[in-house]
Every structure is written in C-alpha cells, then in structure tokens.
Amino acid sequence: MSKLDILAIGVHPDDVELSCAGTLIHYQLLGKKIGLLDLTKGELGTRGNAHTRTSEAEASTKILGADVRVQLDMADGFFTHDKEHLLPIITVLREHQPEMVLINAKSDRHPDHGRAAKLCADACFLSGLIKIETWNDRHKIQDPWRPRMVFHYIQDYYLKPDFVFDITPYFDKKMEMILAFKSQFYDPNSAEPTSPISSKEFMDFIRSRAMDMGRSAGYELAEGFQIDKNFGVRDLFQLD
C-alpha cells in the first residue's frame, strides 16, 4: 500500500491539471504524498484518443512528481451511479488511504463532472463502512477508510468558492502540466476538429480564472474549492 496525503480524482485525464494542479504542486514540494485517479481515459474527447490521453497523463504526472496515478476504465460519458462504479473507487481509496480527496465540481459545463462529483463523494463515505467488502490486487480484504476532508475543485463554470488556495508561485508549473495534454489544446497545425478548449484564447481563460479566484483573498492567482460541510475554526487569527 502506498499511503497518500492527497488523492485528486478527475473523471477525465486533465480535469485535475486544469482545476487543482497548483494546490497539488504546493503540497508535493512540502513532501506530501500525492496521488491522482482518472475515472475514464477521456476517449470521447473531440481531439486525441484514449491512448494519447493516457500518454499525456503520464507526462503530466512526471512533471508533478506524484507518487501514483491510477486510471480506471469507466465509460466516458456513460458511467452510472451504481455499485459497479462505486466499488473501484472505494478500492483505490482503501488501498491508498488519503487524508484529503479533491474531486470534480458539483455542477459544470460537462455533465460528466457533476455526476462524477456525486459518485466520488458517495464513494468517500461508503469507503468507511465496515460491511462493504473490497479486495486489493493481492487478493487481501481491505480495511475500511474514510478521508478526513473532501473538497470539490472548481473547473469550467464560475461557482462561488467556499475557500481559495494561493497558487501564485506554482502557476507556471501548473501550466506545464496542462500543456502536457498537447492533443487537447491550441495547435495551429492540427487537422483535428476544434473544441471549446482548443482555442488560442483558452489558456488566457485559465489565467483569468485564477486571477478572479485570487482577487477577493488578496492573492495574484488562486484555485477555488467548495465543501459539503462547514469548516471548524479554532483560531480566527490564522485566517487570511
């Protein structure tokens, strides 16, 4: 078992990079154990295919220096909220026992994002129930595990964040991770169809979103998150 501090889950390869890579970079540089989980291979993406997306995900993982990246084989666009899809996520959670899990936005332009948010949030809860049995790849029954924190990262739609995280020092490396998915983004020589994220202006959107998220907190650039329950605060002087 590779015990993780943070597991970032995205329904598509590049969801994590676009939405919370700066936060992951911060904690990776502090020595925290970081893992990524892709539910699908993004095979329905307008550009590229499952093979190219997997190769690009591997390149991004190396840039981050993550400890592990797992790819499940759920059907892009057609996965459902049922036992068959919950159990593989629970198995990964129990195998790596993350303290914190970052998951897709609860509502977004791509319908997969909201469905994955609900699926993963429920998996995080169910993973702590002792009567649900799962086995690892060594055919050993797994212990229950429930993460202490589950946060939804904000991606395409503007959603009011419950908190923002300063990524100003890490933005350039975040962009390196995003651009590892070169089949998805602007390429003037590409003969593939265009998509909302393949325009030349999309990279400007990534920066402007980070600027918008950071502005109210006094940060140059930030990533935004939502939570399903209230924070507990013990010292108001420690808040920004």
pLDDT band (50, 70, 90) for residue 87 = very high
Residue 150 forms part of a structural domain? yes
Q: What pLDDT does 21 receive?
A: 98
Residue 240 forms part of a structural domain? no
Query: Given a cut of 70, is residue 1 above it in pLDDT?
Result: no
Count of structural domains, the chain: 1
Q: Pick the residue with more confidence: 176 or 189?
A: 176
Q: What pLDDT does 18 receive?
A: 98
Instruction: Output the CA torsion sign for 208, 210, 211, 216.
Output: positive
- Residue 164: domain span: 6-228
Instruction: Find, among 101, 104, 97, 116, the residue nearest to 16 by Cα.
Output: 104
Average pLDDT along the chain: 96
How far apart CA 121 and CA 136 sit, in angstroms, is 21
Residue 59 forms part of a structural domain? yes
| Least confident piece of the model among 53-62, 134-143, 158-167 | 134-143
| Least confident piece of the model among 35-39, 82-86, 116-120, 227-231 | 227-231
Q: Are 124 and 101 in contact (CB under 8 A)?
A: yes
Q: What pLDDT does 188 receive?
A: 87
Query: What pTM was computed for the model?
Result: 0.96
pLDDT 10s digits, 154-188: 999 999 999 999 999 999 999 999 999 999 998 88
How far apart CA 179 and CA 73 sit, in angstroms, is 23
Residue 111 forms part of a structural domain? yes
Q: Are 102 and 136 in contact (CB under 8 A)?
A: no
Residue 89 forms part of a structural domain? yes
CATH number of the domain that residue 107 is part of: 3.40.50.10320
Calculate ∠ Cα 80-181-32, nearest 5°.
80
Residues 190-214 have a mean pLDDT of 94
Q: What pLDDT does 137 receive?
A: 86
Q: What pLDDT does 240 receive?
A: 81
Q: What pLDDT does 187 receive?
A: 87
How far apart CA 33 and CA 64 sit, in angstroms, is 11
